[in-house]
Amino acid sequence: MKSLYLASESPRRQNILQQLGVDFELLPPQPSEDPELLEIAQPNEPAQQYVQRVTFNKLQAAKTRLTHQNKIWAPILCADTCVCIKTHTSDILLGKPQNLHEAKRMLNQLNGQAHWVYTAVAIATSLQDPGILRLSSSEVFFGENSDLHIERYLATNEPIGKAGAYGIQGLGSALIERIHGSYSGIMGLPIYETIQLLDLAKIPYMLSP
């Protein structure tokens, strides 16, 4: 049996676990589930509170899924990432654009500005365990990109389905001037925080003691 279940369909999270040498099995949502229902923000909800709440909700859904599938138990890891623009009064959450029109609006909001990316990662070591969570916070600075530059990025279709309408691991990095924080956290699975959870759950990986 595998040493870990990953409750995510994200290729980036899978790649990071593979790089760490973790022996894992996917535990993705079933067709009867609607993961987007878990990602609905509450009114005036701060971004850090939002991403932690959603991650714990995903973890609980994954435990229920594992029970219904009658799989052998192993620890479950899940994560969630949110992009937000901070104002004096609130956090403006930028979700995953469903079309290029939404993506263009988001990229124009981010252009020439700083924003925050929060990724929460959590692990449950038993069905009774409510989960242990770690939070990664990063500040990302977009350059002053021209309209043509943004249009060409939109033409790649990379922004679709990505929080904030860009992927730092892809061509979206061309829009970014600099970051303060965790590159892997912005990708969707912060390595430093993930290793802390793997150690707590005694799950072996490349650099484990």
* 170 within some domain: yes
Q: What are the residues facing 140 on neighbouring strands?
A: 115, 179
Residue 131 lies in a domain: yes
- Asked if residue 21 belongs to a domain, the reply is yes
The residues carrying an active-site annotation are: 80
CATH number at residue 59: 3.90.950.10
User: CA end-to-end span of the chain, whole Å?
Assistant: 22
Tokens (6 digits) for 133:
């969570």
Q: Is 140 helix (H, G, I), strand (E, B) or coil?
A: strand
- pLDDT (tens digit per residue) in 61-80: 999 999 999 889 999 999 99
205 within some domain: no
Number of domains in the chain: 1
Q: Is residue 58 part of a domain?
A: yes
In a domain, 57, yes or no: yes
Per the CB < 8 A criterion, the answer to whether 81 and 119 are in contact is yes
User: What per-residue confidence (pLDDT) applies to 61?
Assistant: 94
Mean pLDDT (whole number) for 111-137: 97
Distances (CA, A) of 199 to 120, 165, 195, 196, 202: 17, 33, 6, 5, 5
pLDDT, one tens digit per residue, over 138-189 is 999 999 999 999 999 999 999 998 999 999 999 999 999 999 999 999 999 9
- Report if residue 206 sits inside a domain: no
Q: Which amino acid is at 194?
A: T
**Domain of residue 113, residue span:** 4-200
8 Å CB contact between 54 and 42? no
